[in-house]
Amino acid sequence: MRTPLSWLKDFAPFPDDAGLLRATLDDLGLVVEEIEVVGEGLSDVVIARIDEITAIEGADRVRRVVVEAGGGPLEIVCGATNFELGDLVPLAPVGAVLPGGFEIAKRKMRGVTSNGMLCSGRELGLGDDHAGLLILTHTAAAPGERLIDVLRLEPDVIFDVTVEGNRPDAWCISGIARDLAARLNLPFSFPSLSSMPLRGSETAERASLEVVDTQLSPRFSVAVVDGVEVGDSPSWVVERLEKAGMRSINNVVDASNYVMLELGQPNHPYDLAKVQGPGLRVRRAAPGESLTTLDGVERSLGVAGRSVGDTGTDVVICDAANEILGIAGILGGATSEIDASTTTILFEAATFDPITVTRTSRRLALRTEAAARFSKGTDPAVLEAAIDRFGQILALSAPSATMAPSPLFVPEAPPTPLEVVAPIDRINAILGTSFEVSEVAGLLGRIGFECAVDGDKLTVTVPTNRPDIRAGEPGVADLAEEVARTWGYSRLPRRTPTWSQPGRPGARQAERARLRRVLCGLGATEAWTSSLVAPDQARSVGFDEEEIVVANPLTEGESRLRRSLLPGLLDAAGRNLDRRADDVALFEIGATFVHPSSLPGRASRAGARGSGEVTMPAESERLSLVLARDGDDATSALAAFSAIADALRLSRVIVATQDEATSPALAGLHPSRSGVLVDKQTGAVVGVVGEIDPEVVTHVAPGARDRRLGWLDLDLDVLWDPGAVLRRPLEAAPISRYPSADLDLAFVVPDPISVESLLDAISEGAGDLLESVRLFDVYRGAGVDDGARSLAVRCRLVALDRTLDDAQLAEVRARMVGSAEALGCRLR
Amino acid sequence: MTGLDHEALSAIVTELTAAISTVDDLAGLDEVVARATAKDGPLGSLKRSLGGIADLESRKSAGRAINDALAQVTAAADARRVTLAAAARTEQLEADRLDLTEVVIEDVRVPVVRGHEHLVSQTRASLEEVFVAMGFTVTEGPEVETDWYNFEALNLPPGHPARDMYDTMYLEIGEPETVLMRTHTSPMQIHLLEAAVEADALPVHAAMAGRCYRLDTPDARHLPVFHQIEGLVIDRGITFADLAGVIETFTSAYFGPDIHSRLRPAYFPFTEPSAEFEITCTICRGDGCRTCSRTGWIELGGCGMVDPAVFEAVGIDPTEWSGFAFGFGIDRCAQMRHQIPDMRLLIENDLRFNRQF
């Protein structure tokens, strides 16, 4: 909200120190986003009369002008052309410093000396017009007079204040002034002009008022003003409105806006002659009714929208014949507008249910100034003052206007203010302070909360302009905030609390950190791709299931939740390859989402419209790795997994043989170079490893299509489930102090027998003496039967208590070979 | 010439489709197609001869017949192309076959290059570390939430004007506007407190981080998908002074001893009193610069005492327990600490950027 300091000064004698005021406003929670200084640096600018205009030879953009500015003819070079002989314009003489720090100096152009500068409105910081010089219409002004005297300009500061949603009381000049005065300990009072004279018959005889639903419009008032001449507002009113960011329309609309800005009460002047009855009727819109609003759009009313809890309740203002004039608290219709011929005004000031206004304005996408204010709640007790102030301001420009006595109010009296009982202990317990009861009463009193003190207990009367203060215990918290604000947050005590429970990272944080370390150690860099993806992205990598659709996406390309990390990571790898990055290896740890129709997630309390439960999408946290370095392929992905398995102490996770591989898990992967990772003991599927399907690569990352892209994807929810994936015991295994011996064995192994089962058979045969066994060569071809391959393994044998001799080694060898042969393998 | 030689046309079509059905590689197929569509090919020559037909109607119908024939040939070629491509792919995949159960892991060599954790992960981890040291338990929760957890239980009932502050992404699951992408990490407060009440496990001293979503058009300072970290302390005798103390301790621990915090009034429906917390500008160290609008302070996050309405929603007695919550953007923290001009760099995954951290 744009807040001129000059306007604030109507309410309290504020100092001119803009820095102090800004800091104070900030500390009150009335955050100043920007400060604008106007009228500064204009004290040297004088009025000049154009006496002579001549062309300069050889110059077509500038002319020579001679002006009279009180000190005899002055020659000036000027580029503007919008003036004539005799016009009065502002002159910045040599030596003047304009707003923004520009100093005027004597200059010579094409042989003509320029003794100053004739200025546009923009150059003086007096508006946006820079098309030409500011031409003054104040004919009484004499050359040489100071511009600030003629325009009665006073330097002013405009604070652009952001008012929080719970402070509707501060969303007006008087509200900001009240808070500021309280903090600075300055006397606060409302300014007053002469009220408009009351004449003629009672308001009740001039217009009717019926409020059908007082829940939706808790207080409503109308006044009638006669003898109005629609015309211009006084210049200071125009100036204030403009500083506050509003345009001047005519004296009636200006007075209405002035009241809204000053008191925070939106209001509406109707042309009484155009209102049937005349009178107003406030009611709920019937379903299907409609109104063409001032913006020319036909609005359909009374029908519930999509938004949670919207019942389609709209409040409308009708005339006495029940025809809709406007949508209450949001926007009027065109039929009863003020125009040049208006002489009698029906002035409306009312309050409306904030939630109803919020819903209607949201559903109709009509976010007007009035709607924004009513959404946050307005003061039902300010209506009398609003009517009076409207009369005061309008009377300045319509001296013969009068108001009908006894404006109508429904209900007659404002609501009884809320009382909150606040024991001083509670306030101190919330704030950590040790205020005396009288201190609190004093702080609250300064911002209009009357406090009755009874021992340690305060009974606080909440002003009606503070709808944010609640009853009961929540109200005590609300009052504590007011105490803190008025005292100053920065002056409150600080204490560092302690408790006996130790801090600790969650189990997942520790595991994730371990995974990240392993992957970074393997040369992979972490990526962050969006969880929001394009339609059919999941399908393009093989997930043929229902997608999770965002009902209101930013763009179509971000309208689904990701099902897999593959497309995002592949795209990121492709872009890096396109930029000729070396050693592209990327990983990501993040959530993927499955539609409940495919995999029902947890049941969760729905809230709002659904008081029951709703089945949520399953959220699966995954780790994916794409390897796109020279030489990478499925084996590098497998090696990466092997490192992870070691770091996480996985007991026995193996690549399932191809025929065991379930196809859905391998969606998007190379069909003959990928496999499923399975816990050997529990059968749980941990993830997949292999290469990305070349077709998918061509489609998603064409720049990478000539490479094999290694791929690893782990389901972390499974990986971290101790029942699904077994870990090696934490106990240290003993290490032998005796020399070990290696035995290399090569077997012809029929294809159906897996490497794993051969290694298992050998281990079983060797018993305790086997330290390790690993595959080191695979051979197919000459010398080996069709349908079989030669597998060479290295067995390292050692005993804990002795050096194995040849006889013992031979015996172990025989047992290992025997065991392998029993499986169906033949020693080569 | 009086008309089209239909016999010749059908012979041409038969010949071409036969060639298409027998060709056994894609290159061969391309050749056949090129022959069929060439100007001087059999169909092309036939088309050129149409000029000799005097009758306009006959000429038109002959033209149509030739076009139909061409379409027939093209369709056959397209169908053949699909078959051949599938066969070529099968052959390629078979030739490529690699049995991952037989890989000799020890033979795999990888480049000696150090990878880099994402800046946001690093930032999150260091923040979590600070909170653990301060006695917080780290926990986390789901990204998809319901209206209850994201809004209602946090004292934001349906129709509440403050809901406008959160530009919410809704999902088409369940009743309209009940299932949504969480707009902040605060729903975790409700999950934690519900669980604590259920298990009779108060007090709670928790920090929770995670991904959040809002309908914000991406710009230098906003991303529609972003990360927040949230703290929640519920214990006996906790006051606003404790909140201010924790914020100050955290600020100096994370940003450095010369960076301080201050609170100023703000509004969040789920805390009362509420505050915005600002820290000493990390650019000018408090002297005042462009970044901090010459105030010496920059805004980091929101905080406040847990509102009695939140306690009521989860069934906690506000006269026995009290507490505070605070939250701020992890990405924003990273942006401030490393002076990243544009937040979008965080999601571009350009290795030249990611490898700097």
ipTM score: 0.88
Confidence class for position A241, pLDDT limits 50, 70, 90: very high
Query: What's the pLDDT at B16?
Result: 84
**Residue to test with chain B: of A376, A486, A509, most B Cβ within 10 A:** A509
How far apart, in whole angstroms, are the C-alpha atoms of residue B109 and residue A633? 11
Beta bridge mates, A450: A461
Locate the chain B residue with the closest alpha carbon to A488.
B264
Q: Are A117 and A46 in contact (CB under 8 A)?
A: no
- Give yes or no for a contact between B233 and A497, defined as CB atoms under 8 angstroms apart: yes
| CB nearest A430 (choices: B239, B274, B295) | B239
Among B96, B217, B241, whose Cβ lies nearest the Cβ of A431? B241
> CA–CA separation, A714 vs A712, rounded Å?
7
Q: Do B109 and A631 touch (CB under 8 A)?
A: yes
A392-401, A554-563, B40-49, B65-74: least confidently modelled range: B40-49
- Per-residue pLDDT of A336-379, as tens digits, reads 888 999 999 999 999 999 999 999 998 998 889 899 999 999 99
A634 and B100: CB-CB below 8 Å?
yes
The tens-digit pLDDT sequence of chain B (357 residues) is 566 777 878 888 888 888 888 888 888 888 888 887 787 777 777 777 777 777 888 778 878 888 888 888 888 888 888 988 888 888 888 888 888 888 888 888 888 889 999 999 999 999 999 999 999 999 999 999 999 999 999 999 887 878 877 889 999 998 888 899 999 999 999 999 999 999 999 999 999 999 999 998 898 889 999 999 999 999 999 999 999 999 999 999 999 999 999 999 999 999 999 999 999 998 888 888 888 878 889 999 999 999 999 999 999 999 899 999 999 999 999 998 898 999 999 999 999 999 999
Q: Which candidate, B140, B147, B155, places its Cα nearest to that of B311?
A: B155
pLDDT tens for A296-314 read 888 999 988 877 778 889 9
Dihedral angle over CA of A631, A633, A638, A644, nearest 10: 60
Domain segments of chain B as ranges: 6-96, 119-354
What is the radius of gyration, based on Cα positions, of chain A?
Answer: 41
At B332, list the tokens.
């924003």
Rg (CA), chain B: 35
The C-alpha atoms of residue A571 and residue A579 are separated, in whole angstroms, by 12
Is A791 near chain B, with CB under 8 Å?
yes
A554 contacts B108? CB cut-off 8 A: no
Q: What per-residue confidence (pLDDT) applies to A129? A: 66
* Residues A473, B318: C-beta atoms closer than 8 Å: yes
Are the CB atoms for A509 and B128 separated by under 8 Å? yes
3 state DSSP class of A531: coil
pLDDT at A608: 57
Other CB atoms within 10 Å distance of the CB of residue A338? 20
Q: How is residue A56 written in tokens?
A: 């300069």
- From start to end of A555-707, where are the E strands? 560-561, 585-594, 600-607, 610-627, 653-655, 675-679, 685-691
d(C-alpha A384, C-alpha B167), whole Å: 38
**pLDDT band, very low/low/confident/very high, at A521 (cuts 50, 70, 90):** very high
- Distance CA(A19)–CA(A10), nearest Å, equals 20
H helices present in A555-714, as ranges: 566-578, 634-647, 694-700
Residue A665 contacts by C-beta under 8 Å, 6 or more apart in sequence? A676, A685, A688
State whether CATH 3.40.190.170 applies to domain B119-354: no
**Nearest residue, CB atoms, B103 vs list A26, A509, A635:** A635
Start-to-end C-alpha separation, chain B: 81
Interface test mutation site (partner B, options A604, A742, A779, A796, max chain B beta carbons within 10 A):
A604
The CA-based diameter of chain A, rounded to the nearest angstrom, is 130
C-alpha distances (whole Å) from B88 to each of A690, A691, A701, A826, B27 are: 21, 19, 21, 37, 12
Residue type, A274: K
Per-residue DSSP letter, B100: G
Token output for A329: 């608290």
Contacts of B140 in chain A (CB under 8 A): 506, 508
CA angle A258, A261, A267 (to 5 degrees): 70
A308 neighbourhood in chain B, CB within 8 Å: 147, 158-159, 176-178
Q: Phi, psi (5° rounding) for residue A479? A: -70, -35
Q: What tens digit of pLDDT does each residue of A133-165 get?
A: 888 876 677 888 888 888 777 789 999 999 998
Q: Return d(Cα A131, Cα A799) in angstroms, integer.
A: 98
A504: nearest CB among B132, B149, B165: B132
Tell me the two tokens of residue A43: 């004290």
DSSP track, B146-182 = EHHHHTGGGT--TT-GGGGGS-PPBBSSSSTTTEEE-
A458-462 LR contacts (CB < 8 Å, sep 24+): A458/A421, A458/A422, A458/A423, A458/A424, A458/A427, A459/A419, A459/A420, A459/A421, A459/A422, A460/A419, A460/A420, A460/A421, A460/A422, A461/A417, A461/A418, A461/A419, A462/A417, A462/A418, A462/A419, A462/A420
Both tokens of residue B247?
């914020």
**Which DSSP state fits A263?**
H
Task: Find out whether A780 and A732 touch, Cβ atoms under 8 Å.
Answer: no
Distance CA(B103)–CA(A560), nearest Å, equals 38
Integer angstrom CA distances of residue B17 from A274, B47, B87: 82, 19, 19
Model confidence at A471, pLDDT cuts 50, 70, 90, reads: very high
pLDDT in tens, A472-507: 999 999 999 999 999 999 999 999 999 999 999 988
Count of Cβ atoms closer than 10 Å to residue A73 Cβ = 11
Shortest Cα distance from B255 to chain A (angstroms)?
18
Residue A658: band (very low, low, confident or very high) from pLDDT cuts 50, 70, 90: low
Q: Looking at A273-277, A817-821, B109-113, which range is the least confident one?
A: B109-113
Asked if residues A813 and A743 have their Cβ atoms less than 8 Å apart, the reply is yes
Q: Give me the residue from B114, B171, B350 closest to A576, CB to CB.
A: B350
Q: How far is A25 from chain B (nearest CA, A)?
A: 10
Inter-chain residue contact B115 with A306, CB threshold 8 Å: no
- Mean pLDDT value of segment A458-464: 96
B165/A165 Cβ within 8 A = yes
pLDDT digits (tens, 9 = 90+) for A613-644: 899 999 999 999 999 999 999 999 999 999 99
Is the pLDDT at A609 greater than 60? The verdict is: no
**CA-closest candidate to residue A595, choices A550, A557, A545:** A545
Cβ contact A650:B73 at 8 Å: no
State whether B171 and A778 contact (CB < 8 Å). Answer: no
Q: Decide if A368 touches B, using CB distance below 8 A.
A: no
Averaged pLDDT score across all residues of chain A = 91
Expressed in angstroms, the distance from the first to the final Cα of chain A is 90
Sheet holding A208-211, edge to edge: A208-211, A279-284, A315-319, A324-327, A331-332
The answer to whether A338 and A269 are in contact (CB under 8 A) is yes
d(CA A699, CA A692): 11
pLDDT digits (tens, 9 = 90+) for A68-82: 988 888 999 988 888
pLDDT at A663: 62
Q: Residue A136: CA atoms inside 13 Å, Cβ hemisphere, count?
A: 27
A9 phi-psi bin (left φ>0, alpha ψ -120 to 50, beta other): alpha
**Minimum-distance CB partner of B128 among A376, A509, A631:** A509
Phi first, then psi: give them for residue A384, nearest 5 degrees.
-60, -45
CB contact under 8 A, A614 and B174: yes
DSSP state of A75: E
pLDDT tens digit sequence for A90-108 = 999 888 888 767 888 888 8
Confidence band for A610, pLDDT divided at 50, 70 and 90: low
What DSSP assignment string belongs to B79-96?
HHHHHHHHHHHHHHHHHH
What is the Cβ-side half-sphere exposure of residue A564, based on CA atoms within 13 angstroms? 30
Q: Among A133, A81, A75, A79, which Cα is nearest to A106's? A: A75
Q: Do residue A503 and residue B137 have CB atoms under 8 angstroms apart?
A: yes
